[in-house]
Amino acid sequence: MKRIWILIATLIAAGAPLAAQPSTRVATLLPYVAEALGRIPEVTIVAAVAAELGGEVPEGAVDLGSPHAPNYEALAASRPDVVVGDRRFHGAIEEKLARSGARVILVEAASVDATLDGLIAVAAAVGVEAQMQRLVSEVREALPRLHLDRAASVLPLFGAPGSFMAITERTWLGDLLAELGFEILPPDLTGRESYPGYVEVSEEVLALVRPELVLLVTHGSPHAVAESFGRESSKGGPWARLAERVRVLDPALFARNPGLEMGRAAEELVRLLDEAQGPIAQAR
């Protein structure tokens, strides 16, 4: 054994490279986690889900299919060291995820801070916390510079042709809007939630709000959602009054939590407000 250590010391002194240590193997059901960890060479994404329907997973990774009902056999076959999911959406399947033999980490992502803290927690678990801290710090430093000069009212809606739900501050997008200085309408909305933070909203409630900007988010085609909104507005009532204030958000950036792209999402929200009303909100 002593001879082995002497040999290693000799190789180091001579400048000979040692064999590279294997990187941590991560499987994730959260596209923004795959994107963030993909910026750090010491991590290998071995399994993931696509950010959008029909999209691609990171090169070399196994496609796990649906984030809500992943392919467990494919997950186990990818031999991950760590599996990452969202506590709200994947808590019920935590035991099944653990059968892959990996450590399961469930993060919170219902706010800007929770999203960024979750990325740091995952990075710490795989030994790359310092690298992630630098990336997260850049986002946290950028957001205050984009704060609105004055409050602007906004009605954020999640849309699918035929139905719309109000997005509350209990989601990453609602929290980002509030952090930028937007006033989210309707305030303190409660009701039936198909997904946490997304509340079904009635026309009676919409008739009472006067937003300066209406934002539509969709998992599907923005064009299809815009057409659906157009059909609703043609019937008159509150939809007709809101139609001219509507902006459909890019699903590539807004349909899912953007993670380290939170700053870019903030820039787009401010730009849309400027576009709708003129330069009332400028980056400081």
Are 158 and 136 contained in the same domain? no
Q: Is there a single domain that holds both residue 79 and residue 107?
A: yes
β-sheet bridge partners, residue 266: none
In a domain, 157, yes or no: yes
- Beta partners for 44? 25
- Place 284 in a pLDDT band, splitting at 50, 70 and 90: very low
Residues 104 and 86 in one domain: yes
Its sign, for the CA torsion 67, 176, 118, 138, is positive
**Greater confidence, 239 or 151?**
151
Best CA proximity match to 145, nearest among 62, 8, 267: 267
pLDDT of residue 113 exceeding 80? yes
Residue 40 lies in a domain: yes
| Same domain (yes/no): 107, 165 | no
Q: Which of 14-18, 68-72, 88-92, 244-248 is the least confident region?
A: 14-18
Residues 154 and 268 in one domain: yes
Task: Pick the last residue of a domain from 110, 143, 176.
Answer: 143
Which of 83, 114, 143 terminates a domain? The answer is 143
How many structural domains is the chain composed of?
A: 2
Whether residue 149 contacts residue 137, with contact meaning beta carbons closer than 8 Å, is answered with: no
**132 with 201, same domain?**
no
Task: Please calculate the CA angle 169-28-195 and round it to the nearest 5 degrees.
Answer: 30
| Pair 98, 130 in one domain | yes
Which residues contact residue 96 at a Cβ distance below 8 angstroms, ignoring those fewer than 6 apart? 72
Q: Does residue 137 register a pLDDT over 60?
A: yes
Residue 123 gets the label, from left (phi > 0), alpha (psi -120 to 50) or beta, of alpha
pLDDT at 83 over 90: yes
The arithmetic mean of pLDDT across residues 171-176, rounded, is 97
Residue predicted with more confidence, 230 or 95: 95
62 belongs to a structural domain: yes
Nearest of 201, 207, 211 to residue 165 by alpha carbon: 201
What's the whole-number mean pLDDT along residues 140-167?
A: 89
Average pLDDT of the residues of the chain: 86
Which of 143, 163, 180 lies at the terminal end of a domain, its last residue? Answer: 143
* pLDDT class of 162 with cuts at 50, 70, 90: low
Q: In CATH, what number is assigned to the domain containing residue 151?
A: 3.40.50.1980
Q: Are residues 182 and 259 both part of a single domain?
A: yes
Per the structure, the complete domain to which residue 50 belongs is given by 24-143
Residue whose token pair is 């303190």: 188
- Within 10 angstroms of residue 17's Cβ, the number of other Cβ atoms is 7
Average pLDDT over residues 138-146: 97
What is the pTM assigned to this prediction? 0.85
